[in-house]
Amino acid sequence: MAETPSNPNYVRYAEPSLIQRDLSGLARVYRRNYTKFINYPTENGGHILLVATDGMSDEQLLRAYNILDFYLTDVPGSQYGSDKTAVANAMADNGAVLVLPGGADGDSPIRNRALQGQPLYALEFPTEGSVAYVNNDYEQRDAGLEEIFHMVHDYGIGTKYTEGALQTTYQAEIARATANSLANSLWGNGDSGVKSWISELDQEGSLEQEYIASVLDSYYGYWGGWTEADGGMWDIYVAKIRQDIEQHDPMGAALIPQFLSETITYMARIDPEFSGTFEMSFDASNPYTHKSRYLVNARLLGDLPSGINGNDHDNVLLGNFADNMIDGKGGNDVVQYPVASSEVVITRSATGIQVTGADVGTDSLKNIETLRFFDVDISASSL
């Protein structure tokens, strides 16, 4: 298999090789309580630490890295996210750390004094394509978007009581939307327990962090599969899906594209135990597609024969080592292979394109515009 791509369009996505297991250079609390980490580099020469126990899988750690990278990737044309260098630098300067222990919040084997950073627990962080993800198991509710954005907010953007690169701008807009949501019963709804929690948040200066996290979760579809109430975030927020936010909370709806992309742009790593076809277009009969509809890029892992159906975005899709069925659907779609074009046989028939090779299996492709290899892009129309 070729090692060094000569194709300038070829993209190296996050791989397990990012994970380090020599913790000797980390602080004592991390050396004693954690087993692996990734350093996310920043332009000022610093880094943001993501550190995990063995209770958190390597795939979960990589997903945390991908979500952080998504949050810190520039969004051209956005009001506050067109250049996020200062946000990332502030996070490094302020000592941002994401700690990833096993178990769940309140039921984890890790000691409380070892939680020096923003925590995200293994049983609250399923990977794409896992059983919990596909079944929308809210007993293992995915808190990844929420908790990682808390870290970006607290250490990079800035909050009521913490300094950051956007404290007087984006944070001020979030604060106004939060106040509006409370004044109009859009967020913070519920029984006396919820009201008490809101009061505690107000006293500690965390209202804005929790409000924007609720908006984020609903905006990217993470409550669309929840059937126990009409709202999102355990019915604390009036909006369950993006259209609800736009209808009921337009100030909240405006916040997300001011800083983030309207789609999830990292390369989603589909759980290696997944079999079947991973769907990226909304289908009411597959409620997990409330989430996956906003993915742009996805790759199959492991060695189980499986497939991907893309969506109307310009997808980049990767198969695994087995035989795969990959349908790009709409958009201008790419299938990328970790080999040179000379290492595969490509044939075309009336039903689509077939790619066969020792390291890629036999893939059947439909609605794919570009085949990308280490050495060259091949246009499907030229075959």
Q: How far apart are CA 369 and CA 101, in angstroms?
A: 42
Q: What is the pLDDT along the chain (383 residues), one digit of tens a residue?
A: 447 899 999 999 999 999 999 999 999 999 999 999 999 999 999 999 999 999 999 999 999 999 999 999 999 999 999 999 999 999 999 999 999 999 999 889 999 999 999 999 999 999 999 999 999 999 999 999 999 999 999 999 999 999 999 999 999 999 999 999 999 999 998 899 999 999 999 999 999 999 999 999 999 999 999 999 999 999 999 999 999 999 999 999 999 999 999 999 999 999 999 999 999 999 999 999 999 999 999 999 999 999 999 999 999 999 999 999 999 999 999 999 999 999 999 999 888 999 999 989 999 999 999 999 999 999 999 99
Judge whether 321 and 328 are in contact, CB under 8 Å: no
314-318: list long-range contacts, CB under 8 Å, 24+ apart. 315/280, 316/11, 316/267, 316/372, 317/368, 318/13, 318/267
Give the global pTM.
0.97
Q: How far apart are CA 353 and CA 158, in angstroms?
A: 50
**Residue type for position 49:** L
Q: Does residue 237 sit in helix, strand or coil?
A: strand
Judge whether 268 and 297 are in contact, CB under 8 Å: yes
**Apex CA 242: angle with CA 236 and CA 243, to 5°?**
105
Centre a 10 Å sphere on the Cβ of residue 53 and count the other Cβ atoms it contains: 20
Q: How far apart are CA 171 and CA 209, in angstroms?
A: 9
Question: What values do phi and psi take at 364, rounded to 5?
Answer: -110, 120
Q: How is the chain split into domains, by residue range?
A: 16-259, 265-382
Give the sign of the dihedral formed by CA 246, CA 282, CA 213, CA 106: positive
Beta bridge partners of 52: 36, 100
Q: What single-letter DSSP state applies at residue 17?
A: G
| Sheet of 97-100, strand order | 36-41, 47-52, 97-100, 118-119
